[in-house]
Amino acid sequence: MAFVHPLFDPSDGKIGAREKCGLIAGEELGKRWQVTAERKALSVERIPFDESKLATLSLGEFTPDEIDLVAHIYDGLDIDQAYPAAFGEVAEISDMGEILAASTATIMQETIGTLHKALNDANPENVIKGRSRLARWTGAAIEVEMRYRAACTRISTLVDGARQRIADSDAFVHRLDGLRQAHVLAIRHLRVHLAAGRLYTAGYVPPPPVAGELGGSAAKDRFTRRLSNIAVMLHSTQMALAQIDMVKAQVKSQIERLGQAVEVLLTVWRNHAFSVLASSVDAPELTNSYKLALSHLKGIN
C-alpha cells in the first residue's frame, strides 16, 4: 500500500485541508514574531548615556578614555546578548597559587639563616684561643683551624649561591611586573564593561509580554546575572593585584638585604676577621671592630 501524506489529498492532486491549516498557522506564527519584534523596537527606548551616573556605581573614578569606552560599550549593548567580551582579556592570567609557589623570598631568607650559622663557625677568636700551648699539645688547635677553614669555604659557597638567588629574584620581580600590568588591564576591562552593563540595566524597560513568550524581565534577569559574574571576577582580580604587590615588596626587600649582606657587610667582616687573625698580640680594638662588623652582618635577617 502506497504511503499517502496526511496533508495531501490524492483525489485531485491539490493541497488538502489539513495542509492549508498548517500554512495558515505558519503565516500566523510569522506575523506574531513580526509583531513581537515591532513591540520590542517600539517599547524599548535606549536612554542616552549619562556620564554623571558613573559616580553612583561605586566603581571608583573613571579617566576620560575610560568614560568614552563605557559610552561606546553602552551604545552597543542588547539585553539578549551573551555579553562575553568582558572575560576575554582575563582568561590567561596566571593563578595566584603559582605566583606564590614561585616566590624566592623564602629561599633568600633561608640563605641568610644559613649564612648566620656559618659565621659562628668562622669566628677568628676561636682560632686565637686554639693557639695556646695546651691546645697545640692536645691537637685541639688543628681541629679549630680546620673547622674555621671549612666554615670559610662554606661561606664562599653561600655567597655564590646568594648571588644566584639575587639574579633569580630579579627575574621573578620582572615577571611580577608583567603579571601586574596584565591585572591592571584586566581590572580596567572589567570595570568599563560592568559600568556600561549596570547603566544599561538601570534604564532598561522590558517590552509588553507576548503570549507564549518569555517576558522581557526574564532577559533582564539573565543579563543581571552576567553582570554579577563580572563583578565577582573584578573583585577577585583586584585582590590578586594586591597580593602581587605584597609578594613583590617582600622579594625586593629580601633582594636588598641579601645583596647588602653579600656585597658590603660580608666584605667588611672578612677584612676585620683577617686583621684579628694576623695580629700577633692581643689587640682589643681589632677584636671590637670585628665584633661590630659581625653584629651588623647578623642584623640582616
Task: Note the pLDDT tens digit of each residue in 240-249.
Answer: 899 889 989 9
Distance from C-alpha of 133 to C-alpha of 139, rounded to nearest angstrom: 10
Per-residue pLDDT, averaged over 111-140, amounts to: 70
CA max distance for the chain: 135
Cell of 81: 546578548
Per-residue pLDDT, averaged over 41-62, amounts to: 80
More confident of the two residues 271 and 187: 187
Question: Look-up: residue for cell 580596567?
Answer: 188
Bridge partners of residue 8, in order along the sequence: 15
Residue 83 has pLDDT above 70, yes or no: no
Residue 73 has pLDDT above 80, yes or no: yes
Sign of CA dihedral 107, 274, 297, 126: positive
pLDDT of 188 reads 92
The CA distances from residue 37 to 3, 17, 210, in Å, are: 40, 31, 10
Bridge partners of residue 14, in order along the sequence: 9
Per-residue pLDDT, averaged over 51-70, amounts to: 92
Where along the chain do its domains lie? 1-6+14-43, 49-298
Question: Look-up: residue for cell 646568594?
Answer: 162
Range of 65-69, 83-87, 114-118 with top mean pLDDT: 65-69
More confident of the two residues 29 and 294: 294
The CA distances from residue 175 to 56, 178, 195, 247, 258, in Å, are: 36, 5, 30, 12, 20
pLDDT of 29 reads 44
Residue 222: band (very low, low, confident or very high) from pLDDT cuts 50, 70, 90: confident
Distance from C-alpha of 299 to C-alpha of 301, rounded to nearest angstrom: 6
Residue 155: band (very low, low, confident or very high) from pLDDT cuts 50, 70, 90: confident
What is the model's pTM? Answer: 0.68
